[in-house]
Amino acid sequence: MSKHTLTHTHRLRRSVRAIAVGAAIVGGAVALPAAPALAQPITIPGVGTFDVPGLPGVPGAPGAPIAASHGQRALDAAQTKLGSPYVWGATGPNAFDCSGLVQWAYRQAGVSLPRVTYDQVNGGAPVSKADLQPGDAVFFYGAEHVGLYAGGGMVVHAPTEGQPVKRAPLDSMPFFAARRY
């Protein structure tokens, strides 16, 4: 009977090993097209060590995706509203004023911002014009107007009555301050 138990345990270990190796191979094959050619070792206890290209999704591994910042997610949301009408006091989702657009966009990113520019300019962390990153709130005309920095010297904003939400050059308005939320 002990010989039968030993054989059964040996078969079970081989089966588990085969499943683990198969999963590692399939996982590597699925990840391979999106991964760079660099290989990283992965060790499966009791099975062995294998070189798996890229290991996407593992923080710090080559090719690992980087989570988008709150600002980037807010910018992405704001850009879905390009062309939406400007309406003074509107906070979306179909019409916006400048601070309403910024507040709505950040809400989509899971961040609560104050409603008006004068309160928005006092929140977040100050950012210099030289250090702007996509999604930073950018204030103009002494904090009477706000938009979201879109990168490349551009800003997404709800300009004024009769003009829809649009992209415009950052330097087309007098810069006052910027905040990162």
**Annotation says 8 is catalytic:** no
Catalytic choice (8, 10, 70, 157): 157
Catalytic choice (4, 8, 70, 145): 145
How many Å apart are CA 169 and CA 153, to the nearest integer? 6
Other C-beta atoms closer than 10 Å to the C-beta of 66 total: 7
Q: What is the DSSP letter of 135?
A: T
**Annotation says 10 is catalytic:** no
Q: What is the largest CA-CA distance in the chain?
A: 88
Q: Which two tokens stand for residue 176?
A: 């006052």
**How big is the chain, counted in residues?**
181
Residue pair 158/100 in contact by the 8 Å Cβ criterion:
yes
Catalytic machinery residues: 98, 145, 157
